[in-house]
Amino acid sequence: MTSQDQGWRNQSGADELLVLSSSTGLKFMQLFVDTLADCFEADLVTIGELMVNKVERINVLAGVFDGKPLQGFDYEACVTPCVDVIKTSERKVFLCRVQEGYPQDEMFVEEGINSYIGFPLKNNQGEAIGLIQASWRREIEQEEADHVMETIGLFVNRLSTELTTVHDMRILAALAEGSSNTGNLDALRLLCIQIQAALKIRVAFIAECMDGDDNQFRILTFCQDGKIATQAEGKVYPYQGTPCIHLKERDTFLIANNLAEAFPQQEQFKTEGLTSYLGVNIHDDSGAVIGHFALQNDREVLETTLKSDLFKLLSHRAGLELRQFKAEQRRQSQAAETPSIACEIHQRLATIQQSATELEGHINTPHRQGAAATNLKTLQHQIADALGLLRQLEDSSKDT
């Protein structure tokens, strides 16, 4: 291709890309990668979303490879140039021999990918949440790379917005659908997974306050790297020595970095590379603290996270689910108590019946009239006790 032909193709491609303004979401992304690959004869073009795990992965939402659609799969980012785009939040360009710098990228090596251009896609806080990349089996000239970067640059903000919207809409749809098991542990587990994925952090957990012991809290559910750690559920931890201790003084607490240094007793912060923490108290309808949820990450958690609409929505949902969980636990506890209360009432009534029979005998016996007065007082107390149990049973039935 001559430079003149290539210049015409690039101009034509830029004009063609402008037609994309009428599309949105995943359709826009797929049209964009199709057009970009066609205009610049790229062998591989993808738009991917960052999946935060211990080993970061990229979920491909739209792509084209050798002219065919490519989507619905994910790959390990750490062996590809994509990881540097994500970590630095800066564009990366390799005009040739890209596979030499990433010899463990099996796809690049097997397919003979030679050149690469990657752009980070960012959320409103400036954090990289994904990327768009274009790759070629051939070497590319600097002039051609400049044209590609100029074209992507025209749309990078739009692509970032579309990726954020697709991500948020997926989370909102999941929250709207909710769990069929609202009020039990499965609902909290599902929400914990959604929080971890939605906010792209390593760890999310939900904890409850301990009745009668404000020095400890109990982990209800714990999600790390996209998986529920059932071995952590039900464990009781002291507030002292953990960042959660600060939630006893305020409703939110943020450590943006240096988490391991601030809490050296928590060895997992160092071994897991966790550097930041954000905790938020959860209140019941009366305003009393009943628990909290917390986030931990291996990158800085920004103050702006607290102000985002998505975080506010997830925080509200966490409060709702924990309140429902606590209400369900009370209901089950009261339901378990009901049979024992009914049994005790039955026993009290039998005692009352026996006392009434004795009282009747004393009344009919002239020389036992003094004993009758004592028996009458005993019977009155027994009736009062039985009425108290009946009221307890009635209150229990109302709560359920």
pLDDT band at residue 330 using 50, 70 and 90 as cut-offs: confident
Are β-strands 203-210 and 128-136 bridged in parallel, bridged antiparallel, or unpaired?
unpaired
Q: Which residue has the higher pLDDT, 358 or 225?
A: 225
Over 90: is that where the pLDDT of 47 sits? Answer: yes
| Global pTM exceeds 0.75 | no
CA atoms of 48 and 45, how far apart (whole Å): 10
Assess whether 249 and 166 both reside in one domain: no
Q: What is the pLDDT of residue 369?
A: 52
Q: Are residues 224 and 300 in the same domain?
A: yes
The arithmetic mean of pLDDT across residues 116-144, rounded, is 94
Which CATH number is 95's domain given? 3.30.450.40
Distance of CA 93 to the CA centre of its chain: 34
User: pLDDT at position 159, please?
Assistant: 94
Lowest mean pLDDT across 4-13, 39-48, 50-59, 88-97: 4-13
Q: What whole-number distance in Å separates Cα of residue 135 and Cα of residue 137?
A: 7
Q: Are residues 350 and 243 in the same domain?
A: no
The pairing of strands 115-122 and 128-136 is antiparallel
Residues 90 and 230 in one domain: no
Same domain? 191 vs 256: yes
Residue 54's pLDDT band, with cuts at 50, 70 and 90, is confident
Same domain, 190 and 46: no
pLDDT (0 to 100) of residue 1: 41
pLDDT of residue 167: 87
According to the model, what pLDDT value does residue 6 have?
Answer: 46
Q: Give the C-alpha separation, 292 to 124, whole Å.
A: 26
- On the question of pLDDT at 9 being above 50, the answer is no
d(CA 301, CA 288): 27
Do both 62 and 129 map to the same domain? Answer: yes
Q: What is the pLDDT of residue 352?
A: 63
250 shares its domain with 144: no
Is 275 within 8 Å of 301 (Cβ atoms)? no
Residue 96 has pLDDT above 90, yes or no: yes
Half-sphere exposure of residue 349: CA atoms within 13 angstroms, side-chain side: 9
CA-based torsion, 91, 96, 98, 100: positive or negative: negative
Residue 339 has pLDDT above 50, yes or no: yes
Beta-sheet strands, E only, within 165-275: 203-210, 213-224, 227-228, 236-238, 252-255
Domain that holds residue 282: 181-329
The dihedral over CA atoms of 309, 310, 316, 322, expressed in degrees to the nearest 10, equals -170
Let me know whether 79 and 127 are in one domain: yes
Number of domains in the chain: 3
Q: Which of 150, 189, 167, 208 is nearest to 17 (CA)?
A: 150
Q: What is the pLDDT of residues 159-197, one digit of tens each?
A: 999 999 898 888 877 776 665 555 578 889 999 998 998
User: Does 8 score more than 60 pLDDT?
Assistant: no
Q: Which residue has the tokens 């005009």?
A: 95
The two structure tokens encoding residue 149: 């970067």
Average pLDDT over residues 196-205: 90
- Going by pLDDT thresholds of 50, 70 and 90, the confidence category of residue 2 is very low
If asked whether residues 136 and 67 sit together in one domain, one would say: yes
Reply yes or no on whether the pLDDT at 366 is more than 60. Answer: no
Q: What is the mean pLDDT of residues 112-124?
A: 95
* Residues 239, 148 share a domain: no
Final residue before a domain boundary, out of 121, 147, 173: 173
Residue 133: CB partners within 8 Å, gap ≥ 6?
Answer: 44, 45, 46, 48, 81, 82, 85, 116, 117, 118, 119
Give the mean pLDDT of the chain: 84
Distance separating alpha carbons of residues 189 and 193, to the nearest angstrom: 6
Q: Is the pLDDT of residue 211 over 60?
A: yes
Last residue of a domain, one of 329, 355, 384: 329
For 262-315, write each residue's pLDDT tens digit. 999 999 999 999 999 999 999 999 999 999 999 999 888 777 778 888 888 899
Name the helix (H) or strand (E) containing 162.
Answer: helix 142-177
What per-residue confidence (pLDDT) applies to 52?
81
Domain boundary among 152, 173, 194: 173
Verify that 308 and 255 share a domain, yes or no: yes
